[in-house]
Copies of this chain bind each other. A is one copy, B any other.
Amino acid sequence: MPRYLRLMDSLIASGHSRVSSSEIGEKLGFTPSQVRQDFSNFGEFGQQGYGYNVKALREQIAGILGTDRGYKAVLLGVGHIGRALMGNFCFSEWGFNLVHAFDVDSTKIGTEYRGVAISDMKELDSYLQSNPVDVAVLTVPKDVAVEVARHLSTCGVRAIWNFTNVELFEPGTDVIVENMHFSDSLLSLGYFISERQDEEEKQKK
């Protein structure tokens, strides 16, 4: 679904107003059938003989994905990745609102970065009590990841967006964990490369 949204945005940018399931499928590597079925799960967005209206479809998808929900988020750990997110990632575009950041480094505490205030990690609890948030963005160092995550799960946070490359908990906990494991992605990449290599060698024979 997010990929559809991104495609619609790029189609809008390039001035297309109309698109068929076959065109979408071709761009994204799906079959036309799959595209139509994906959409028809949520309603009837197209028109026979015409296709889909790009702008209307974009709004439908955005609605399904809930890009207007305004969930609140705090960020824990203003290191490289933390700053990368604070600086270059547009939370609001995706329905989130980054309201505060926390760190343990005294040179960062009390400052703000790109309009987001940075407080002492020690104040996290009291902050969350008066300002409940939905999501914690976990960009702390690897070695404190589990500890901080455990703590978070007792603070009423609904979900953790995990950038630490650490496997967080056994399932069963009621906190949602969404992982951004760079290493997983890179390993897949390596796997694809070696697969491709194998194919090429076969073809030579």
A185 touches B190 (CB 8 A): no
Copies held by the complex = 2
Contact of A178 (CB < 8 Å), options: B83, B94, B166, B188: B188
Indicate whether A155 reaches chain B with its CB closer than 8 angstroms: no
Interface size class of A (residues with CB under 8 A): 35 or more
Most buried by B among A87, A189, A190: A189
A183/B2 contact (C-beta < 8 A), A27-B170, A176-B189, A190-B96 known: yes
B159 touches A191 (CB 8 A): no
Indicate whether A180 reaches chain B with its CB closer than 8 angstroms: yes
Indicate whether A135 reaches chain B with its CB closer than 8 angstroms: yes
Q: Kindly list chain B residues whose C-beta atoms are within 8 Å of the C-beta of A189.
A: 135, 159, 161, 176, 178
Indicate whether A95 reaches chain B with its CB closer than 8 angstroms: yes
Indicate whether A80 reaches chain B with its CB closer than 8 angstroms: yes
Q: For chain A, residues 6 to 58, give those with C-beta under 8 angstroms from any C-beta of chain B.
A: 6-7, 10, 26-29
Using CB atoms, name the residue of chain B closest to A141. B88
Inter-chain CA distance A178–B67, complex, in Å, is 24
Inter-chain CA distance A193–B160, complex, in Å, is 10
Contact of A29 (CB < 8 Å), options: B87, B89, B171: B171
Indicate whether A131 reaches chain B with its CB closer than 8 angstroms: no
Q: For chain A, residues 110 to 152, give those with C-beta under 8 angstroms from any C-beta of chain B.
A: 134-135, 141
A45 to chain B, nearest CB (A): 18
A162 to chain B, nearest CB (A): 10
Q: For chain A, residues 74 to 96, give those with C-beta under 8 angstroms from any C-beta of chain B.
A: 79-81, 83-85, 87-89, 91, 93-96
Inter-chain CA distance A159–B195, complex, in Å, is 12
